[in-house]
Amino acid sequence: MINGQTVEKPKTVKKGMLDNVLEQFNTAADQIQLNPNVRKILGITNTEIIINFPVRMDNGEVEVFTGYRVQHNNALGPYKGGLRYHPTVDIDAARALAMWMTWKTSLAGLPYGGAKGGIQIDPSKYSKNELERITRRFTYALGENIGPEHDIPAPDVNTNDQTMAWIADTYMSTKNTSERSKNQHVVTGKPVGSGGLEGRDRATGYGVFLTIKFWAEKNNESLEGKKYIVQGFGNVGYWTAHFLEQEGAILVGVQDAFGSLQNKEGIKVEDLFNYGKANNGSIVGFPEAFALEGKDFFALDCDICIPAALGNQITLHNAKSIKAKLIAEGANGPTDVEGEKILLQRGITIIPDIMCNSGGVIGSYFEWLQNRNGELWQMDEILEKLEKKLRNTFKKVIAYSEENEMDMRTAAYCIAIERIEKAYILRGIFP
């Protein structure tokens, strides 16, 4: 709403994640009667960078790739958010994902704003050497649009610690020799041993697991014997399942980009992980589970459903068939607005993405601090700090939702947006 009117995206663009994030924002902004000037600012992105850049392939041919970096808001600190390599990356996806980062960092109480980006590419079609050249060329083209005190990328879908190491190395090589080491925190999610943080690899999944555990504690339930399904068996899906299994929960269904599996008796997480590693990252053909039609995945019988892949997976079309009583959003934007309405009407609880998967960016914050202060932190203290931070956020969101009789997503948005509004008002810009 701008001066009483709902903020809308340009009419020509197809409906997708951006519609969802704007609708979620408008709902919360109405609830808190957000200052109209702040509403205007937050309803649109600050900066949008689109770069077409050429790279020579292994066969000598040149291909031109399109890369994006969208910086939504930096009222609370430098822009922060991942880089995704996927065919679905476009300007709208980057806008939506950048907005989610702003709410996520604010809710977590971090000194960051929100950004997101990536390259429109199917990385499975390229060799490791090609991906390295693509990443380095993209970094070089981004130039000073990223920086350790300005905009700090991190891993997302199909990027990892190796990708971050290439970015850090390329960015640092553009600096004078004496300045190079001061720029290591231009990215987080780097390999341990090259500025990375112990535990950043598992931080997102650990956070997803913790929010599920907090929910169980609140309801006086145990995770022992609880059945769960996971969509996406990459960084977030695998680590979430790893920690849930340690707590006695049973994985009964899993889906990745290649196929779906089920086993009512349980799928052993580490066995599946090792199988995937030896099978080009695909779960298909895992001998101790049964293949399943992709369309039947979300209807599997279970207590907890963890979408940990892409956006817009739980929609009008499958929300009615979901059996789980808890959805823990490991992915960004996995539930669209229509799907969410159905789930809430059916009494299903949703732990919203901006809280559920915030362990990743909290881990990134620790890495950034470690690099900035020239420190090396230990795994146990990192996981302890992460748990403390997330528990605090969880309590705040529950209390807000109960006091104001609203779902957890709207409560989380209200808290996040109020913090940004306060920052603008304290600066004295708006009455």
Selected from 20, 102, 235, 335, the binder of ligand NAI by CB under 6 A is 235
Q: Which residue is nearest to ligand NAI (CB)?
A: 234
Helix (H) / strand (E) containing 328: strand 326-328
Query: Residue 369 interacts with ligand NAI (CB under 6 A)?
Result: no
Residue with tokens 């209200």: 414
Q: Are 401 and 411 in contact (CB under 8 A)?
A: yes
SS3 content of the chain, % helix, strand, coil (to 5): 50, 15, 35
- The Cα 297–Cα 351 span in angstroms is 20
Interface contacts to ligand AKG, rule CB under 6 A: 80-82, 104, 154, 156, 188-189, 332, 357, 360-361, 364
Count the helices and strands in the chain (H runs, E runs): 13, 12
Q: Give the interface segment with ligand NAI, choosing from 11-19, 43-51, 253-261, 405-413 (CB under 6 A).
A: 253-261
Q: Are 203 and 363 in contact (CB under 8 A)?
A: yes
Q: Are 229 and 306 in contact (CB under 8 A)?
A: yes
Q: Are 161 and 126 in contact (CB under 8 A)?
A: no
Selected from 67, 232, 253, 352, the binder of ligand NAI by CB under 6 A is 232
- The Cα 23–Cα 335 span in angstroms is 13
Residues designated as active site: 116
What is the closest distance, in whole angstroms, from the C-beta atom of residue 263 to ligand AKG in the complex?
30
Q: Are 408 and 350 in contact (CB under 8 A)?
A: yes
Residue with tokens 């420190």: 375
Selected from 26, 35, 231, 312, the binder of ligand NAI by CB under 6 A is 231
Using CB atoms within 10 Å of the CB of residue 388, give its burial: 0 to 12 exposed, 13 to 18 middle, 19+ buried: exposed
Query: Residue 306 interacts with ligand NAI (CB under 6 A)?
Result: no
Q: Give the interface segment with ligand NAI, choosing from 145-153, 179-187, 306-314, 339-347 (CB under 6 A).
A: 306-314
Task: Residue 81: name its binding partner from ligand NAI, ligand AKG, none (Cβ under 5 to 8 Å by kind).
Answer: ligand AKG
Query: Residue 257 interacts with ligand NAI (CB under 6 A)?
Result: yes
Query: Residue 331 interacts with ligand NAI (CB under 6 A)?
Result: yes
Q: Give the interface segment with ligand NAI, choosing from 172-180, 220-228, 235-243, 407-415 (CB under 6 A).
A: 235-243
- The Cα 135–Cα 137 span in angstroms is 6
- The two beta strands, 250-255 and 62-73, are unpaired
Nearer CB in complex with ligand NAI: 83/146: 83
Binding mask 155-184 for ligand NAI (x = CB under 6 A): xxxx--------------------------
Nearer CB in complex with ligand NAI: 46/160: 160
Q: Which residue is nearest to ligand AKG (CB)?
A: 82
Nearer CB in complex with ligand AKG: 212/216: 212
What is the closest distance, in whole angstroms, from the C-beta atom of residue 310 to ligand AKG in the complex?
12
Selected from 67, 109, 114, 360, the binder of ligand NAI by CB under 6 A is 360
Query: Residue 309 interacts with ligand NAI (CB under 6 A)?
Result: yes
What is the closest distance, in whole angstroms, from the C-beta atom of residue 143 to ligand AKG in the complex?
20
What are the phi and psi torsion angles at 81 (to 5°)?
Answer: 160, 165
Query: Residue 233 interacts with ligand NAI (CB under 6 A)?
Result: yes
What is the closest distance, in whole angstroms, from the C-beta atom of residue 163 to ligand AKG in the complex?
12
Please give the structure tokens belonging to residue 189. 């999610």
Q: Give the interface segment with ligand NAI, choosing from 325-333, 341-349, 385-393, 397-405 (CB under 6 A).
A: 325-333
Q: Are 169 and 133 in contact (CB under 8 A)?
A: no
Task: Residue 235: name its binding partner from ligand AKG, ligand NAI, none (Cβ under 5 to 8 Å by kind).
Answer: ligand NAI
CB count within 10 Å of CB 371 equals 24
Using CB atoms within 10 Å of the CB of residue 185, give its burial: 0 to 12 exposed, 13 to 18 middle, 19+ buried: buried
- The Cα 284–Cα 96 span in angstroms is 31
Q: Which residues bind ligand NAI (CB under 6 A)?
A: 155-158, 204, 231-237, 255-257, 308-310, 330-332, 357, 360
